[in-house]
Structure 1
Amino acid sequence: MALADQELENTLSMAKRLNEDGFALYHHFQRTGDLRDITESTEVLRKSLELTPEGHADLPIRLDDLGHALYLRFHHTGDVNNLTEGISAQRKAVEVTPDGDIEMPVRFSNLGASLESLFERTGALQHLNEAIINQRNAVELTPKDHRDAPTFLSNLGEFLQSLFKRTGDLQDLTEAISIHRKAVELTPDDDPDMSIWLNGLGSSMESLYERTGDLQDLIEATSIRRRALELTPDGHPALPTRLNNLAISLEYLHYGTEDLKYLTEAVSMQRRAVDLTPDGHAKMPIWLNSLGSFLESHFHITGDLNVLTEAISIQRRAVKLTPHGHAQLPTRFSNLGASLQSLFELSGDLQNLTEAILMHRRAVELTPDGHAAMPSYLNSLGFSLELLFKRTGGHHTRTEAISNYKASATYPSGPPYTRLQAAKNWVQILNRSSSPPPADILTAFDTTIYLITLTATLEQTLERRYTQLQDSSGLPLQAASAALALGRVDKALEWLEQGRCLVWGQLTNLRRPLDDLRHHNSDLAGRFTEVSKRLEAAGTSTGTKSRDDISASEKTSLAEKARENLNLSREWDDLLVEIRAIPGFETFLKPLPCNTLLKNLPESGYVVVINIDERRCDAIVLVAGQDQPMHIPLPDFSLERCEQYRKDLGAQLQSYSLRDRGREIVLESEEGDGKRGIRSVHFRGKRGETVIQSILGGLWKAVVKPILQRLEVSKIDRPCPVQVPLTRIWWCPAGPLSFLPLHAAGIYTATSSESVLDYAVSSYTPTVAALIDRVKKGHSIDKTISGLFMTSQPNAVGASSIPGTTKEIHSIYELAKKGGIRVEKLEGSETTATNCLDTMMAFSSVHLACHASQNNQNPLGSRFLFHNGSLDLSSILQRNLKNADLAFLSACQTSTGAQKLPDEAVHLAAGMLAAGYRRVVATMWSIGDRHAPDVAVDFYQYLLDQRDPAGKVGFDGRKSAYALQQSVEQLRLRLIDNTDQSLLAWIPYVHFGY
């Protein structure tokens, strides 16, 4: 053998031994976390690489080994030079690895991990994008049953989650969750790497909670992270990370549940994470930052100054240990600023607030444009500046606070909820400045109303959208109040339309007829219709199991479904842009402006929108043929008075001993004899009035009568002949006023009365747009479905017997048959949810005489109770009842609504309108089983009597409001007096729609 060959062999042999030694030290470090091991490992691996010639078969693996060792050393020391050197080696490893090499996926994955770490250090988005490309390559080149598949999937999930945190694009997060679930699903429970995959999944679920606020996401994240910690043995280098991650979830859980035990546990875990981490470790600032935040949260619960002082001290240390240019430095400045602000609010020391503002400024200055966290930093800076303005009164400080709130609210990226919080602060600081508010508050409220719509978007289920809207309830009313104060009646009306009944409006848009678009572009109309149908089905679906009861594969399937729904929502938005680019379709599905609302009103009558806010109460009246809405201030009414009426009414109803007798609630005084009927409790208002009489009288004097007088509506003497029609009014009340019976407002004494019934026939509509939509649908009924379907449930599961329902539908059945109406009835066990829905599809009108249950927490769970099972609103909404006309809901509380969402009309009556019915008869509270059959028979008798003699098929639903008023009048005549017993018997009946 030649000397040169011998030297080369010796060199290669040395390189191999060095590589093996370096690799052994690398693995020893992974077990011990001893910095000396990984430092020596990198030195030995460098020497091995130096001895390996270009083109050698082992060159790729030695490059990759050195790169990964440097990656691990960086995570221990934070020295970015290690990371950049490692990335250089890993790039070359990928370049020199032959195509098809079985190690190529590993090389891609290792390079991706190093690039993602460089992004975390520098915040440079290009590093993260390159990391994701490399990691996708690793996943695509790896069979699903390969042992490394979970590793590559988990890494990709983490990178996508990092991208979501940077850009705020929810699509990245939903993909991350789906990928993490696949990694867990592919891994046996006893696999030592399971804790890693669980940690990634828990982190992504926590990010989803941060974005959506859904507590179930957080509960699952906490459970997953707890399991990951349990699988991590003492002494493992990853133990502090697992402790930190679970502690973060526990802090969030504390805020979500208001249970202090979670925060206490979080503090304890985080202290342990800090104690387990040696000084100088790169992750020490992370653990300190978390601990400081937890302690600050603990201070807000306990008020202990020592806790806050410790939090600030720890956060100062975290900032000091964070290298200049680190991507997480803005977060640490912001957290320190929040704690210093808390100290100012406790101590009043202006120096603390001045430093807090400085910290918040630094956070904003160091955050790159487009970062999803920017709105949060801007909002925090604005709030600190507002505190300074309140303390010093400096006008420029207030101006700067407003500027930061505005910048946060209008920022092009970031969570909509965060931006909405800034918008709230923006309008509040402007509202407090003067009365009337400054004109620029209109811009602030425009932004606020828009952001409300972004918090409850189509990819979410209806149930989730309702939850999101609870925090913004009342904002559209505040906006309208400000607009009215500035003389902008048109703007007030538009905001009330855009910000109220948002969910039903979305559902209506998904079902919008597309005849004009189909004529112009049938393919585009077809695609839009298909996507709309799929979105509607996704939104109205509800889960039947809790997350604890479903398997890992089912959870993976749900994650995939969430991704699909988000993609559908994006596709729907893209199609909207495409449609609106067509000349003549620029306003397609956009909120209706005031002038459009005025063009499509009912031909006669008045639409009365009533807004109520703590500053003022006003009516906005719309009349067909007029080009401007009419503004009627109601200075004698107030939000405080309205709330008191609502509470008094609720207390009066509940002050009785409630006992269910079918649809009738037996109302007894404390000394009640238990006999069937409604007995008055003799609470008295002013001048000897009962509470009910006082409420109705107050509504009459302060709200309804001033409106009738301004409209010059005349009273018609009783008895009113049929041929003298009363004026038609559609009431559209906002806020807590929607719980009060405007249709019955009046003065009621023992012997006489004057009320709105003497002047007008009342209906309700959730929004003006909802009424317009029903006007546009017309009133012609297909002969093949014209007719009446009825069902009665005298014995529903879980409810008391209601014998009056049998009498009710038999009487109506005979009446309809005699009148030549196509009619069908189902009773008792004949009625199931499926055959009821099928029959509703086949008839234009439906009469449901049964128990009903309203679910305020989940409106889609509101349902009609049958002999066996029930029919919930979700199932009804999934049927597009496009030929439906009239629904009579002869059941209790079918238009009651939810106090947390007074402007979302979350009741069965609105749900039936959303399902397609043009008009609905419903009840505001419980109705009497003794009176219900008579009311229903009188109702249908009126409709039969008013049929066109030319022989039109079926009922004329347009006369249903008159029919209800006539039947209620008949009931009042039978009741004779105006006691609470009598008033409570007829007031519940209400009419919705056209």
Structure 2
Amino acid sequence: MLQQALDLTPNGNADMPGHLNNLGASLSRRFERTGKLADIADAIAVQQKAVDLTPHGHTDLRRFLNNLAAFLTRRFERTGEVSDIENAISMGQKALDLTPDSHTDLPICLTNLGTSFTRRFQRTGELSDIADSIAVQQKAVDLTPHGHTDLGRFLNNLGGSFRRRYDRTGELSDIADALSVQQEAVDITPHGHTELPTRLGNLGSSFSRRFECTGELSDLADAISAHQKAVNLTPHGHAYLPAWLNNLGHSYQIRFVRTGELSDIANAISAQQKAVDLAPHGHADLPAWLNNLGNSFSCRFERTGELSDIADAIAAQQKAVDLTPHGDADRPGRLTNLGISLYSCFISNHNSGDLEESLSHYKAAAISIVGPPRVKLDAATRWARTLITHFPQSPDIIPSFETALDQVALIAGLEQTVQGRYTQLESISDLPLEAAAAACALERADKALEWLEQGRCLVWTQQNNLRTPLEDLQSHNKDLAQDISNVSKQLENAGSSRGQSNADMSLSEKISLENEARAHLGLAKKWEDLLKTARAIPGFESFLKPLSCSFLMQDVPESAIVVINIDERRCDALALLPGLEEPLHIPLPIFSIKKATDYRTELASQLREHHLRAREEQEMKIQSSGRGAGPVAIGRHGKNPVCRVLRNLWHEVVKPILHGLGFQHMHQSNGQLPPRLWWCPTGPLSFLPLHAAGIYRGSNRESVSEYVVSSYTPTVTAITDRVKNRGSVDVKALGLFLTSQPNVPDTSPIPGTTSEVRAIVKRAEESGVRVMKCEGEELTVDACLTRMQDFSSIHLACHGSQNATEPLRSRFLFHRGSLELGRIIQSDLKNADLAFLSACQTSTGEEKLSDEAVHLTAGMLAAGYRRVIGTMWSIGDKPAQEVAINFYEYLLTPLDGSKDGSFDGALSAFALDHATRKLRLSLDDSEHSLLTWIPFVHFGD
């Protein structure tokens, strides 16, 4: 009928564009049902003509443009032709620009443009596209009243975009939001509605995704139920039936991996095979369906060993790869899956050709210029591990790990909040250690050092990069340096303060958060563009790039920095000494990651037995002895476990290192300052007291303190940067600020803090040092931060709490609030020099992030303090007072006897060594006595 109407309409008639638009819409509908490409091609052709014949300013132009954009998107979904989706977004944006804010067509324009952005994101992986998609689709939902017939479609589309962003970022709030809006879309869709199968299918896919994160089998049951309903409601011959069959099969395959029920994998293969068989030649989704079918065959082979299954898997996955164009974001994942199946085949038949092909596909996926970073990380890691297993001396091990570590930085990118980056790193934090071990095995100590610096303390490094001095760049391009400074401050603020979505928020609140997230993403993109501009300047090619070994070795302080790497395969020490071009490699053959873990477990058990380990803030209601020491029991069963741990650390780790460095036993009476040594441990070794390693029982007693004065550093760069940038503190800021909170609400009092602080103040005043103290309710959190700006040094005598779930919420507890790690890191303390944290657990790390230095001590370093005194676990009130008072007595007693009002924070490591020695002399050799002085540690310069 429409074609006849069009044929009867003379050229130039004002109704012609409308007739063309109507015909295009019907052709598009038929394409949705049958999938015939001729229909969508004709729809686009007549719709384009409608647009061309409509004069600019005509009220119908926006509608015709919007429909043309929708048709182009549909053809892209079918063919994958990139020009279609680019044109769709262009047309959709024009339609939106022509639509008044109050017009009833605005939600439709918004949701169609959002769909186009989502499709382009699926092809390119560009995060800004999915952020833009969610933003416009949220607005479409917000503008649509309840009861409107289009609301279900808008909700469904928005949910699909949330799910796809979750697939890329792993942000749990996204999959929660996807399920919420998609469930609502299904609930308001009447039975018999043509879009009900689509909405059920999308809801099922989101249930599947959530299961992959939570492992809740009920999610999988809901996914399979929704997918099965979608299949049942879709007639044979419908263009969308293959998609619903594929999704159903994928959910069965996931459940098989969890339960091992063979009927599930049989159902998966059956549904996915039907999807592939029904897919028309050239369908854009056929590679995805073939890839999923191959994965199911591979899963069944792993269970049954049936060779025909792995052959079918490889055949399907190879075809999927062949049909996926270069430049498609899904290609690396499909190459990786093919590589996995080929490797499984190699393990079965030992055909070296399969192994070589597998490695080739892993490599191709890893070095692809497109694709999600996590997918490419997985490919690079498989490439590296396969080489180590079968070709342990292969030179390709170096580029494989290099590629993997490059992806880690992208996974925890600056477009995310600091907490979000920590979450992303939890599952991959041991990769730099594995890479360094491989480099050590290849006698590449230089690479091992570079990779540990690049991959560990990543968030710490990002924070430092945002605060890097720009004086050199200013002399070449003042405007560029200022732009970098401005963006870095905005990025730091966004990373620390941006909120996160939750289910209880209103849509308007979520829209506001999405706008913040998009702005944050834009800042991260601008930051990268500015860095590229800076690196184009001669002499700045390495500006804020990971440092090379030769650069890291340039500013090593006197004495040594020792990085200790532990991995499943081997353990090694890398010692950085002044004058060397590469680290001194000291293998630790009798130490292991298992021993480190066992020692940590044993020590933690003793801390709990001695009431010195508090796990959560609620347990921080310290018992009878102020900052943590309670009733004591001497070593369990008389076996002296603490002594054993310290002795084993001495024999297996510390003594071999000191021997390799040639350090001699020092004699305290010679009047010279002993040599310093900075420890930079990794993995579970980060939780063990290397500074106290030694033999404390028997006739052959010796310990690390008889050779060196120990300090710790999160990274090598944290020390070398301070050596390179040593400068005087602003004389106006010189001085000491002290706080004590003797009666913090909800905690036991700290009876000795007041006397501790007053004794230190009295000693400082005698030395002419500018000093200020605050006690109890005198100090607010904001006031504390202000004082930290005004004074070069701070002494915090209070409770401290480590938050294992959210490390940035670890905090110091004041009477009038708490000072969180996140806020400390956000501060920029230009005159910061020395911080003494006379509190509990201030250098207690987080197990899942052992190499990210997420503790209060590291937070003070990140905020700008050059050196920090912290504690590894809860401390007793009386020992804390003694150590603090003797520490300042040493620091405030100039060698020449002068009282010039200054003191040298650079001597803080020696001051702590002096104070803990004095404490040790007053104690016996019991387990309790060891646990009393060991927790005090020095970080920094």
Per the TM superposition, whether the score is higher than 0.5 is yes
| AA aligned opposite 1:496 | L
Report the Cα offset of residue 48 of structure 1: 1.1
Q: Distance in 2 between matches of 1:842 and 1:696?
A: 41
Match status 1:706 vs 2:661: no
Q: Classify the secondary structure of the residue corresponding to 1:585.
A: coil
Report the Cα offset of residue 949 of structure 1: 5.3
Residue deviations 1:117-146 (CA, integer Å, cap 9, x gap): 011111100011111111001100001111
Q: Distance in 2 between matches of 1:166 and 1:781?
A: 53
2:403 aligned partner: 447
Q: Classify the secondary structure of the residue corresponding to 2:875.
A: coil
2:601 to 632, 647, 653: 647
1:200 aligned partner: 157
Q: Is the contact between residue 663 and residue 850 of structure 1 (CA under 8 Å) also seen in structure 2? A: no
1:549 aligned partner: 504
For 1:540-579, list aligned pairs within 5 A. Answer: 540-543=496-499, 547-579=502-534
Distance 1:822 1:450, change over 3 A: same
Q: Classify the secondary structure of the residue corresponding to 1:900.
A: helix
Q: Distance in 2 between matches of 1:562 and 1:487?
A: 44
Structure of higher CA gyration radius? 1
Report the Cα offset of residue 638 of structure 1: 1.2
Match status 1:387 vs 2:335: no
Distance 1:722 1:464, change over 3 A: farther
Match status 1:793 vs 2:747: no
1:275 aligned partner: 232
1:188 aligned partner: 145
Report the Cα offset of residue 752 of structure 1: 7.7
After superposing the two structures, state which structure 1 stretch, 868-877 or 940-949, moved more.
940-949
| AA aligned opposite 2:510 | K
TM-score, structure 2 normalization? 0.97
| AA aligned opposite 1:691 | P
Q: Distance in 2 between matches of 1:194 and 1:594?
A: 58
Q: Distance in 2 between matches of 1:930 and 1:966?
A: 17
Q: Distance in 2 between matches of 1:141 and 1:950?
A: 78
Distance 1:340 1:283, change over 3 A: same
Report the Cα offset of residue 302 of structure 1: 2.2
Q: Distance in 2 between matches of 1:97 and 1:429?
A: 61
Distance 1:316 1:659, change over 3 A: closer
2:759 to 801, 804, 811: 811
Distance 1:605 1:581, change over 3 A: same
Match status 1:682 vs 2:635: yes
Residue deviations 1:713-738 (CA, integer Å, cap 9, x gap): 11123xx2482211100001111111
Q: Classify the secondary structure of the residue corresponding to 1:189.
A: coil
Residue deviations 1:803-856 (CA, integer Å, cap 9, x gap): 222222121122212221111111212221111111111111111111111122
Q: Distance in 1 between matches of 2:300 and 2:514?
A: 42
Count of residues in Structure 1 that have an aligned counterpart in Structure 2: 936
1:984 aligned partner: 931
Match status 1:955 vs 2:903: yes
Q: Is the contact between residue 603 and residue 641 of structure 2 (CA under 8 Å) also seen in structure 1? A: yes
Report the Cα offset of residue 984 of structure 1: 0.4
Report the Cα offset of residue 664 of structure 1: 9.9
Q: Is the contact between residue 610 and residue 629 of structure 2 (CA under 8 Å) also seen in structure 1? A: no
Report the Cα offset of residue 626 of structure 1: 2.2
Q: Distance in 2 between matches of 1:504 and 1:895?
A: 15
For 1:14-413, list aligned pairs within 5 A. Answer: 44-413=1-370
Report the Cα offset of residue 712 of structure 1: 1.9
Distance 1:983 1:47, change over 3 A: same
Q: Is the contact between residue 678 and residue 981 of structure 1 (CA under 8 Å) also seen in structure 2? A: no
Distance 1:192 1:949, change over 3 A: farther
Report the Cα offset of residue 377 of structure 1: 0.1
For 1:495-514, list aligned pairs within 5 A. Answer: 495-514=451-470
Report the Cα offset of residue 953 of structure 1: 4.3
For 1:891-910, list aligned pairs within 5 A. Answer: 891-910=839-858
Q: Is the contact between residue 387 and residue 394 of structure 2 (CA under 8 Å) also seen in structure 1? A: yes
2:436 aligned partner: 480
After superposing the two structures, state which structure 1 stretch, 284-293 or 815-824, moved more.
815-824
1:747 to 692, 695, 709: 695
Residue deviations 1:412-444 (CA, integer Å, cap 9, x gap): 01100111011111111111115x442221111
Distance 1:751 1:174, change over 3 A: same
Q: CA RMSD in A?
A: 1.8
Residue deviations 1:663-707 (CA, integer Å, cap 9, x gap): 896699xxxxxx9755234325xxx75100000000101111111
TM-score, structure 1 normalization? 0.92
Match status 1:618 vs 2:572: yes
Q: Classify the secondary structure of the residue corresponding to 2:676.
A: strand
Q: Is the contact between residue 427 and residue 441 of structure 1 (CA under 8 Å) also seen in structure 2? A: yes
Q: Classify the secondary structure of the residue corresponding to 2:733.
A: coil
1:829 aligned partner: 777
Report the Cα offset of residue 452 of structure 1: 1.0
| AA aligned opposite 2:541 | E
Q: Classify the secondary structure of the residue corresponding to 2:892.
A: helix
1:31 aligned partner: none
Q: Is the contact between residue 621 and residue 746 of structure 2 (CA under 8 Å) also seen in structure 1? A: no
1:471 aligned partner: 427
Distance 1:883 1:129, change over 3 A: same
| AA aligned opposite 1:229 | V
Q: Is the contact between residue 680 and residue 979 of structure 1 (CA under 8 Å) also seen in structure 2? A: no
Distance 1:662 1:381, change over 3 A: closer
Q: Classify the secondary structure of the residue corresponding to 1:472.
A: coil
1:873 aligned partner: 821
Q: Distance in 1 between matches of 2:760 and 2:700?
A: 32
1:695 aligned partner: 645
Match status 1:592 vs 2:592: no
Q: Distance in 1 between matches of 2:770 and 2:577?
A: 37
Q: Classify the secondary structure of the residue corresponding to 2:390.
A: coil
| AA aligned opposite 1:61 | G
1:533 aligned partner: 489
| AA aligned opposite 2:196 | L
Report the Cα offset of residue 936 of structure 1: 0.5
Q: Classify the secondary structure of the residue corresponding to 1:784.
A: helix
Q: Is the contact between residue 740 and residue 798 of structure 2 (CA under 8 Å) also seen in structure 1? A: yes
Report the Cα offset of residue 795 of structure 1: 2.0
Q: Distance in 2 between matches of 1:135 and 1:877?
A: 43
1:853 to 782, 793, 801: 801
Distance 1:903 1:662, change over 3 A: closer
Q: Is the contact between residue 663 and residue 927 of structure 1 (CA under 8 Å) also seen in structure 2? A: no
| AA aligned opposite 1:399 | E
| AA aligned opposite 1:642 | A
Report the Cα offset of residue 190 of structure 1: 3.3
Q: Is the contact between residue 751 and residue 978 of structure 1 (CA under 8 Å) also seen in structure 2? A: no
Report the Cα offset of residue 655 of structure 1: 3.3
2:868 to 893, 913, 920: 920
Q: Distance in 1 between matches of 2:666 and 2:619?
A: 37
- Give unmatched runs, 5+ long, in structure 1: 1-43, 669-674
Q: Distance in 1 between matches of 2:682 and 2:612?
A: 29
Q: Classify the secondary structure of the residue corresponding to 1:457.
A: coil
| AA aligned opposite 2:303 | L
Report the Cα offset of residue 954 of structure 1: 2.6
Distance 1:76 1:731, change over 3 A: same
Q: Classify the secondary structure of the residue corresponding to 2:42.
A: helix
Q: Distance in 1 between matches of 2:918 and 2:17?
A: 93
- Give unmatched runs, 5+ long, in structure 2: none
Distance 1:371 1:676, change over 3 A: closer
After superposing the two structures, state which structure 1 stretch, 186-195 or 732-741, moved more.
186-195
Report the Cα offset of residue 799 of structure 1: 2.0
